[in-house]
Structure 1
Amino acid sequence: MKTLYLDCFSGISGNMFIGMLIQAGIPFEAFKQAMASLNLTGYDMVCRSVNKLGIQSIYYNVLLESEGHGHHDHEHHEHHEHHDHAHHEPHEGQGHLVDTTGHHHHHQHRGLPEITQIIEGAPIDEDIKAKSLAVFQALAEAEAKVHGVPVDQIHFHEVGAIDCILDIVGTVWCLKYLGIEQIATSPIHAGSGFVRCAHGIMPVPAPATAELLAGIPWYATDVKGELVTPTGAALVKVLAHAGVRPKDFVYDTVAYGAGTKELTIPNVVRGFIGQAGEIS
C-alpha cells in the first residue's frame, strides 16, 4: 500500500504537514485552486524553499489579511494571540482559536455547523470532506473538554477558522492527490516549557494538544517551545497510526516541511513515502 511515514522529531503542525506534501510532489497551483473552491476570503498563501539548519524544506503558510500581517500555523500556528507573522511562536495559544463565552457573532466566529456547511458546500470529493470534518470534530471535542463547555459552544475565531479549514482540508486533499493509502508516525517530539496564550501561561503540550495526544507516543527534550499544535495533533489522531513502524516499508521519496521557528534542531517534519504492508 502507498504509505506515508511521518518522522516528527520536531513536532508537527498543519502548515508543516502541507509544506512537506508540497515538496513531495503537490503542484502548488493545483493546491491553491482546490483551496479556492472553499470560497474563503481574506487570506493569501506563502510557499517557498527554506533551509533549516542544513535541510532544504518547503515553508508553507496562510497569511491572513485581517491581521494586517501573516499568520502562520501552527508551526506552529493557528490559535495565536499575536499578529507578527515572522515571529509568532507556534500557535501561541490555543485558547485564542476558540471562543467559549457563548457570545457568537456570525461575522467574527464560526462554530462546527458553519464550518461543516463551508466544507460540505465545496466541490471537493466526499471522502475529503468526511475526513476533514472528522479532524475538526476531534479538535472541537478536545477544546470543549479543556474549557469545560459543550462542543456546540466552541466557536472558532474567524481567523482561526480560516487557518484551520485550509490546514485540515488542505492536508487531506494533498494526501489524496498523492494517493497515500495509510499513514504511520514516529513518536512525536512535543517540545517543553510554557507558552503564552489568550488564557495566560500554558504548559507544553498545551491542554487541547495534550487531550489530542492521548494514546499517541510523544516525548519532551530540552528543546523549548510548542512543537505540536492542536491542528497537527488532530490530524495525526484521526488520520494516522501513531507510533507505528510500517511493515516491510521501502520508500522512494523523502520530503521536508518547515515550521516557522528557528530551533536548536532542524524545525521540520520529515515524510517518507513508499510501499508497505497494511498496518493493522
Structure 2
Amino acid sequence: MKKLYIECKSGISGDMTVAALLDLGADKEILQNVLNTIPLKNFKTEIRRVQKNGIDVCDFNVILEEDNHDHDMNYLYGHEHEEHHHQSENHPHHHHHHSDEKHHHEHRGLTEIKEIIANTKMTENAKKLALSIFTILAEAESKAHNKPINEVHFHEVGAVDSIVDIISIAVCFDNLNINDVIVPELYEGTGTVRCQHGILPVPVPAVCNIVSAYNLPLKFLPDKGEFITPTGAAFIASVKTSLKLPEKFTIQKIGMGAGKRNYERPNLLRIFLIETEDKNTTEELYKLETNIDDCTGESLGFVMEELLINNALDVHYIPCFMKKNRPAWLLTILCEEKDVQNLEQIVFKNTTTIGIRKTKIARTKLTRKKISVQTEFGSVEAKQVVLPDGTVRNYPEYESVSSICRNKNVSFWDVYNKAINM
C-alpha cells in the first residue's frame, strides 16, 4: 500500500508544499491548466530548480504584478525578508495568468474564497481539499480575533498568492491520488515575528489554534523565527491520517520543496512516497459513542447525514435501554483523529446529548483500490480488495449498479453478479 510521509524538520509553508508535491511527481501541466482558470488577475507562477546547502530541490513561486502580497514568510516578516532567488537555478518556467475579473485590493473572507473555488476548473476532490484548508484557516483566524467565521477577512487567506498556493496544493495532492498521509511531528522555531497585526509570539495564534484543534504534535527548534505558516499547518490538518511510520517500508520516491530563507541546515520540506509490504494495514481510529433517549427519528437521520458528509468513516445506531427503563439509541461513530473535534461539535449541536465517550481503537484494513469493471451492461465502478491469502475480490458500488439498472431496465442482481465475476 502506498502512503505519503511528510517530514517537516524545517517547518512547512504553502509554497514549500507545492514544490515538494511537484518534485514528487504531480503533473505540472494539469496544475497550470487549473491555474489558468482561477478568476483572479495579474499573477504568474514560477517553477524551477534551486540549491539548498548543495542539495538540488524544486522551488515554487507566485509572482504578483500588483502589490497584494501576503505570501508565506512575507505574511509574517514583511518584504525585508524576501529572497529574489539569486541562487543556482535551471531556467525557471514562468506562466502568466490574466483573468478578466476585476482585481480586488481588499482582503477576502471565506465567502469570497468559496466563490473562487467554485469558479476554478479542478476536480471535485481538489475543490474539497482546497475548501477544507481555507475553512481550517478561517476557523483559526476566527478564534484568534474572536469574530464569527464569516466576518473574518484575513491576510493569509485573502491575498492572491496565498489563494494560488492553496489551490495549487489541492490540485497537486489530488493528482498524486494517495490518501494515507503520515506526519509524526511538526518543527517550529521560537521568539517573535512582526506581521500585519504587530509583533506576535511564535507559533503565531493561527498556527497555535490549528495544532491545538487537530492534535498535531509540535517540536521546537533552537532557531529563532517562524517555521510553520498557517497555510502549512492547515494542509497537514486536512490530510494527516496517521502519526506513526510503519515498522517496515520501502521508499519509492522523494519530493523536496525549497524554503525561502537559508539556515545552517537545509531549509526544505521532504515528502516521501513509501510502500508497505503488508497485505493488510492496522490503523488507529477513534470511536465516539453517546446514548440518546429524547431525539426524534428525523433529527437522528439528519445527524447521521451530517457526520458522514464531514468525514466520519462509519455511523450507526443501536437500540438500547437506559436508566428508568427508557428505550434509547446508542450512536457510534468511527473517525480519524483529525476529525474528532468537528464531529463532536456536530453531535452536540444537533442532538440533546450532554456527553460523548471517546476511545482510541485499532482497525485492520485490507488493501483495496477503486476499479472499473467492464460488463455486457456497461462499466461498473467497484472496490477491489486483496484478502490475506492473496485472493482478489470485487465489491460493486451501489450507485454505479443502480444507475445501470435504471438506464438498461435490468435487475440489480444481474448487474451486481456480472461485476463480481468479471
TM-score, structure 2 normalization: 0.57
Deviation at 1:206, TM superposition (A): 0.8
Counterpart of 1:153 in structure 2: which amino acid? E
Deviation at 1:86, TM superposition (A): 1.8
The residue correspondences of 1:19-168 to structure 2 (distance < 5 A) are 19-67=19-67, 73-74=71-72, 76-78=73-75, 81-82=78-79, 85-86=82-83, 107-157=105-155, 160-168=158-166
Q: State the SS of the aligned residue for 1:67.
A: coil
Deviation at 1:45, TM superposition (A): 1.1
Counterpart of 1:12 in structure 2: which amino acid? I
CA gap of 1:180–1:73, structure 2 versus 1, over 3 A, is: farther
CA gap of 1:87–1:47, structure 2 versus 1, over 3 A, is: closer
Q: Please list every run of 5 or more consecutive structure 1 residues that lacks an aligned counterpart in the other structure.
A: 89-104
Of 180, 188, 191, which aligns to 1:190? 188
CA gap of 1:233–1:242, structure 2 versus 1, over 3 A, is: farther
**Deviations 1:140-193 (CA, angstroms, capped at 9, x unpaired):** 010111111111111144984322222222112111211222211131111111
Distance of 1:278 and 1:254 partners within structure 2: 24
**Is the CA contact 2:13–2:231 (under 8 Å) kept in the aligned structure 1?**
yes
- Alignment partner, residue 267 of structure 1: 267
After TM superposition, the structure 1 stretch with the greater mean CA deviation from structure 2, 138-147 or 105-114, is 105-114
**Is the CA contact 1:184–1:245 (under 8 Å) kept in the aligned structure 2?**
yes
CA gap of 1:242–1:212, structure 2 versus 1, over 3 A, is: farther
After TM superposition, the structure 1 stretch with the greater mean CA deviation from structure 2, 231-240 or 54-63, is 54-63
**Is the CA contact 1:108–1:157 (under 8 Å) kept in the aligned structure 2?**
no
Deviation at 1:84, TM superposition (A): 6.6
- Alignment partner, residue 232 of structure 1: 232
- Alignment partner, residue 307 of structure 2: none
Deviation at 1:67, TM superposition (A): 2.0
**Is the CA contact 1:193–1:204 (under 8 Å) kept in the aligned structure 2?**
yes
Deviation at 1:247, TM superposition (A): 5.7
Counterpart of 2:188 in structure 1: which amino acid? A
- Alignment partner, residue 255 of structure 1: 255
| Number of matched pairs | 261
Counterpart of 1:149 in structure 2: which amino acid? K
Q: State the SS of the aligned residue for 1:226.
A: coil
**Is the CA contact 2:45–2:61 (under 8 Å) kept in the aligned structure 1?**
yes
Distance of 1:131 and 1:106 partners within structure 2: 24
Deviation at 1:242, TM superposition (A): 5.7
CA gap of 1:55–1:141, structure 2 versus 1, over 3 A, is: same
CA gap of 1:131–1:247, structure 2 versus 1, over 3 A, is: farther
Distance of 1:227 and 1:238 partners within structure 2: 19
CA gap of 1:279–1:60, structure 2 versus 1, over 3 A, is: farther
Q: State the SS of the aligned residue for 1:175.
A: helix
Of 198, 201, 207, which aligns to 1:200? 198
Does residue 12 (structure 1) correspond to residue 12 (structure 2)? The answer is yes
Distance of 2:45 and 2:194 partners within structure 1: 26
- Alignment partner, residue 92 of structure 1: none
- Alignment partner, residue 102 of structure 1: none
Distance of 2:221 and 2:149 partners within structure 1: 33
After TM superposition, the structure 1 stretch with the greater mean CA deviation from structure 2, 198-207 or 242-251, is 242-251
- Alignment partner, residue 413 of structure 2: none
Q: State the SS of the aligned residue for 2:32.
A: helix
Q: Please list every run of 5 or more consecutive structure 2 residues that lacks an aligned counterpart in the other structure.
A: 86-102, 285-422
Distance of 2:192 and 2:138 partners within structure 1: 22
Distance of 2:175 and 2:243 partners within structure 1: 24
Does residue 173 (structure 1) correspond to residue 171 (structure 2)? The answer is yes
CA gap of 1:234–1:126, structure 2 versus 1, over 3 A, is: same
Structure with larger Rg: 2
Q: State the SS of the aligned residue for 1:180.
A: coil
**Is the CA contact 1:247–1:278 (under 8 Å) kept in the aligned structure 2?**
no
Counterpart of 1:236 in structure 2: which amino acid? I
**Deviations 1:85-118 (CA, angstroms, capped at 9, x unpaired):** 4279xxxxxxxxxxxxxxxx96522111111011
